[in-house]
Amino acid sequence: MAALPNHCRAQITIKKGHALTDTRQVLTQFEIELNTSEESTLELLQAQVNVEALQQRGLIWKQDIYVKPQANTAQRDFKLLETSAYRQTLTNIFRNAAKRKSFNLEAFRFQFYVYLQEPISEPSKVF
């Protein structure tokens, strides 16, 4: 069974819209070097995303990060990363990918998705 290395590449896609819907508006994409060692946490990943997300002014991020569990997964089936299962989720995704004959560690990327929403405006009060 393939062991999760201490570092992997990851692609982060920031979209405007609601998670697990047919959101197509990509605001930005970038790659990071992801620490996948025992010390890695969801909070560290959120900190790497937060810099990019904050640059998208006027949009709200609820700190949720979704991961594409395998190739050809529909957006509605992406998995929400949770603090308690963060490393196990990454390990499972990596092991499933490593089972393929064509697996190449250099080409492997975790695919993370962040969804930003418009702020909900308060209705105008008429006096």
**In this predicted structure, what is the pLDDT of residue 122?**
63
β-strand partners of 15 = 26, 115
Structural domain includes residue 13: yes
Residue 115 lies inside a defined structural domain of this protein: no
**Count of structural domains within the chain:** 1
Q: How far apart are CA 59 and CA 61, in angstroms?
A: 7
The predicted pLDDT at position 86 comes to 95
Give the pLDDT of residue 6: 92
Q: Please give the helix or strand (H or E) that residue 100 lies within, else none.
A: none
Residue 49 lies in a domain: yes
The pLDDT assigned to 71 comes to 86
Q: Provide the domain limits for residue 17.
A: 7-62+82-108
Q: Which residues of the chain have pLDDT under 70?
A: 1, 51, 55-56, 121-127
Query: CA 20, CA 80: separation in Å to the nearest integer?
Result: 10
By the 8 A CB rule, do 51 and 31 touch? no
Give domain status of residue 71, yes or no.
no
Query: What is the per-residue pLDDT for 89?
Result: 96
Q: Is residue 68 part of a domain?
A: no
Does residue 118 lie within any of the structural domains?
Answer: no
Please state whether the predicted TM-score (pTM) of the whole model is above 0.85. yes
pLDDT for the residue numbered 123: 63
- Residue 75 CA to residue 69 CA, distance in Å, equals 10
